Chain A
């Protein structure tokens, strides 16, 4: 199988990830819950993971790195900490349901949408600026569209938010580990990300980088301040009730080390090159409509959506699946992004790459699409 669904989860991981998980299952207990070797060993691994993440994302203090179950969990904490009923919230036209459903559940919210055509960063920034000038209470913005790979100008959006003194929540689900993120420079209120995509950790891991005070989503034991019946007022304990996923975190640590060793910029260049190869090949193919940036650097990450005339997207993905390619079709849990681009009714087939994909794999994939199109 050639795996091209890394925007959902990277399946190919560095071998050390599985080894670290296996070691954790047999040797590590609950961090912060005891003074014995297995508990302290778990605490050490958890702390190393915080430090590694803080370093990768230029966070000064590892206590601001909070472990979550996934990006959705982190986004729930972030949004529910910042957004109150009656607020005006600005989002991009490329948000995932992990953002829009959370907002939809908050009563009396005014949700404004800043939109731009695909890969047009200038117009996206203009739309954000325009809405900020009109007045909003918070901005929630994805860094990279999970459907189209569109890289939003998050650094400029963050600067605009700072100028208008509006807190920013960044959904880094598709960018963490794939595009350099300097969370310190962004000065975002929160940056949420999964551990199981570009950071190569196992499923069930995520990180929330906290730039400001947060409201706990869960209450419970933290191994600290136990006499007090309110949650601790300090991070990370405030947001980490209950036993941590030490097994997952041990694997995530190895994933983070892999990314740091390889270099995020190297990974980005590699993934961009693969998408460029795919986009160029699709461009010359009749009946294929590929949503790619035409090779314009810096505007598309390792994700490319496409449609084939006469084919239902799910049936096409199934056909290509039978030929050995793992893809995802449909709306990708992001109907707003599809609505923005005009693909809400028909959906798309999405190919997404990782550091482990090769140009040869892309060639085989493109050849297979060509054969399917030729057969009709």
Chain B
């Protein structure tokens, strides 16, 4: 059986990769996918911890995160589509209507 620690290390690595993706990527869709990676790293950690503690509330948390992530996708993609229609670009570096 794989140790819980190994899962946690993997999930930490995935989480950091996701966070770096958000900070370094310029395409809004890729930024968004990086956020999803962070959420899924969390799901992995929660599932591993739930097994470690032998109880359900961790699994329950995973389901809530999956559901909420789906709701976020709906709103996020709608916003990206809206901005693509007006600008023909989803590069987040070009979002600079407001400065100061």
- On whether the two chains bind one another, the answer is no
Which A residues are within 8 Å of any B CB, using their own CB?
none
